[in-house]
Amino acid sequence: MRTQIKFIINPVSGRTKGGVDVPGLLNQLLDKERFEPEIVFTQYAGHATEIAREAAAEKIPIVCAVGGDGTVNEVARGLMGTQTALAILPKGSGNGLARHLGIPMNVSHAINILNQGQPSAIDTCTINNHPFFCTAGIGFDAHVSSVFAASTRRGLQTYVQMVLREFFNFKPQVAELALNGQKLKTSCFVVAFANASQYGNNAYIAPMADIRDGLVDVCLIRHLNLAKAIGISYGLITKQIATSPDAEYFKTQEILVKSEHAFKFHADGEYMGEATSFKVQIMPLTLHVIVPREEGLN
């Protein structure tokens, strides 16, 4: 019997990559002896969660998110805690979870991999009850996502220019962190919470993250000047941030953050607003995902 698979395509994701005809490629490349496909397009932000939830209620075995990290987050939050597995065809710019799982960035290659994929369970996390699957954070990374959300320009070059501009305006704030029975009152430039190892674009904020270990990886950067920022950026690309002298790295089941000043926060790169207290939790092995056969998870 063929396996039902529902593709949820976000028509507005991946605008900077030019048009990829995903239905055409599926028609050409998807293994029709193995799969019985159905394709739907999202009509509005948040629609993917509704479609995914309905598919899970109908016991459809696989729902495939076709889009960027925002679409993956929306589909995954509709599937977490169910038996329906998430597959990903990356169409965005960051694609953090897809990269972590070893899914190719090229859609044709990703379909070929999907044809032979296998299910595997991964952890999921929440920040103040908002689900995330890759990374969340407070401080500079969230500030950047808020500025990017307000901008109409997209693409890696715009992003890098904007990060540099905002870097000089950004002031760290003091917060109290509670994790692993310890309390730490400190200035915070960034506190990143990671389920997967990277933000996307192979920027490894949590190179030691294991997506199945029931632990959140926490990367704390207290202060940053330009010289240290260059070192941190190098550490992000070379997977060496955990041993950088300017970052501290923890693994924990839960983390609480309290501050007198509001911090901006993001979940999977989407700006979520501001809060003065945060609770980050992990739910072990609560999402099934389709991963490449014999993939090396990184």
Q: Minimum distance from CB of 132 to ligand ATP (Å)? A: 13
The smaller minimum CB distance to ligand ATP, of residues 71 and 82, is found at 71
As beta bridge partners, residue 119 has 290
Q: Determine if 44 is a binding residue for ligand ATP (CB under 6 A).
A: yes
- Based on CB atoms, which residue is closest to ligand ATP, 71 or 198? 71
Output 94 or 235, the one with its CB closest to ligand ATP.
Answer: 94
Q: Does 141 bind ligand ATP (CB under 6 A)?
A: no
- Segments of 28-129 assigned E as strands: 35-41, 62-67, 85-90, 118-127
Interaction pattern, residues 78-117, with ligand ATP; x per rule: CB under 6 A: --------------xxxx----------------------
The answer to whether 135 contacts ligand ATP (rule: CB under 6 A) is no
Question: Does the protein bind ligand ATP through residue 14 (CB under 6 A)?
Answer: yes
Give the burial class of 33: count Cβ atoms within 10 A of its Cβ; 0-12 exposed, 13-18 middle, 19 or more buried: exposed
Question: Does residue 235 touch ligand ATP according to CB under 6 A?
Answer: no
Positive or negative torsion for Cα 238, 272, 139, 253: negative
Closest separation between CB of residue 13 and ligand ATP, Å?
Answer: 3
Q: Which residue has the tokens 């994929």?
A: 117
Q: Which is nearer to ligand ATP, 15 or 258 (CB)?
A: 15
Beta strand segments in 56-172, E: 62-67, 85-90, 118-127, 130-132, 135-139
Q: CA-based angle 204:207:208, to the nearest 5?
A: 160
On whether the CB atoms of residues 9 and 39 are closer than 8 A, the answer is: yes
Q: Is 12 in the site for ligand ATP (CB under 6 A)?
A: yes
- Do 146 and 137 contact (CB within 8 A), yes or no? no
- Interface pick for ligand ATP out of 7, 42, 114, 127 (rule CB under 6 A): 42
- Give me the residues that bind ligand ATP (CB under 6 A), please: 10-15, 42-47, 67-71, 74, 92-95, 269-270
